[in-house]
Structure 1
Amino acid sequence: MDNPRASVHEIPEGASILDVREDDEWAAGHIEGALHIPLADLPARYGEVPLDEDVYVVCRTGGRSRQAVTWLNDNGFDAIDVNGGMGAWSLDNGKPIVADGDDEPWVK
């Protein structure tokens, strides 16, 4: 079965967003309010992911988020893969991102 997918424009206001990129990618720039769990840590930290609502999953371009969505949906979550990931969010559509520290945010 194909995973549910959504464009960045289809993510509802206030939706839960899970970023599965690595720590350095997250620090460089991420969606404000997103939950950060690197893909490799997801099986150990899945308890942090909301179980009773849709979760929109992002990575850099879509490969890792696709894996995360498959794993989450196989384990009872309602996960949706965000088409194009952070590239689509920030680079293609200019949606805001924030960085850790004082550096200008960017998609690494």
Structure 2
Amino acid sequence: MDEEAVSVNDIPEGAAIIDVREDDEWEAGHIDGALHVPLGDLPTRLDDLPLDDDMYVICRTGGRSHRAVAWLTTNGFDAYHVAGGMGSWNLDNGKPIVSENGQEPWVM
């Protein structure tokens, strides 16, 4: 099954968003309420994922989320790739982000 790309504006309110970026990227700026699961940790963090919900997977520009969604859908999850990643979320569409370090959040 080919994964679907979803625009940041098509993510339903309250949907499960999985951020597969690295720790430093997450700490600099992420979507409030998203679940942080770095791409390399995905196979060992399956218990952390919402089994019965659609997941919207995001990274910086789309490469890692594309790989994550391919892996998740192969393993029976309902996952969608967020087209354009965090660049599209924050830089292109001005959607809010938060940081973990108390500094002004930004996408790195």
TM-score by length of 2: 0.98
- CA shift for structure 1 position 61: 0.2
Moved over 3 A (4+): none
Deviations 1:25-64 (A, max 9, x none): 0000000000000000000111111110100000000000
Aligned to 1:12: 12
Q: State the partner residue of 1:21.
A: 21
User: Among the aligned pairs, what percent are the same residue?
Assistant: 67
Give distance in 1, aligned partners of 2:65 and 2:37.
11
Aligned residues, how many?
108
Cα RMSD, aligned residues only: 0.7
1:74-93 superposed matches below 5 A:
74-93=74-93
Q: Could you tell me how far apart the structure 2 residues matched to 1:94 and 1:46 are? A: 31
Paired with 2:83 and 2:46, the residues of 1 have a C-alpha distance of 22
- Which 5+ residue runs of structure 1 have no aligned equivalent? none
- Name structure 2 gaps, 5 residues minimum: none
Counterparts of 1:1-108 in structure 2, within 5 Å, are 1-108=1-108
| Cα distance, 1:107 vs structure 2 | 0.1
Find the residue that maps to 2:71 and give its secondary structure: helix
Offset from partner CA, 1:45-95 (integer Å, 9 cap, x none): 111111101000000000000000011111110000000000000000000
Find the aligned partners of 1:36 and 1:59 in 2 and give their Cα distance.
10
Is residue 51–residue 76 contact of structure 1 (8 Å, CA) maintained in 2? no
Whole-angstrom CA distance in 1 between matches of 2:95 and 2:22: 20
Deviation at 1:2, TM superposition (A): 2.3
